[in-house]
Amino acid sequence: MSCPICHRGACMKSFHSLEAQERFDLKQTMSDDVDDLREEILSLQERIKELESELQRILSEKEL
């Protein structure tokens, strides 16, 4: 079985520095599911539109 960090056959996770192991562990906990990320992006885009609309409403009220 190859090393999960560098994918070399003659290596193991413990051969890497503690810093490299911690970075790898952190990456493993991150969501990398494309569908989840796509949904999050769409949700954020929708929120941006809502905030822009709210800002326009506030600005137009100030002009009155």
Q: Chunked in runs of 10, what are the mean pLDDT values of the chain (64 residues)?
A: 91 94 88 82 97 96 84
The Cα 25–Cα 33 span in angstroms is: 17
Give the whole-angstrom CA distance, residue 38 versus residue 46: 12
pTM of the predicted structure, to 2 decimals = 0.49
Amino acid identity for residue 4 in this structure: P
Q: What is the pLDDT of residue 34?
A: 82
Rounded distance between C-alpha atoms, residue 49 and residue 13, angstroms: 45
Nearest Cα neighbor of 24 from 33, 15, 35, 34 is 15
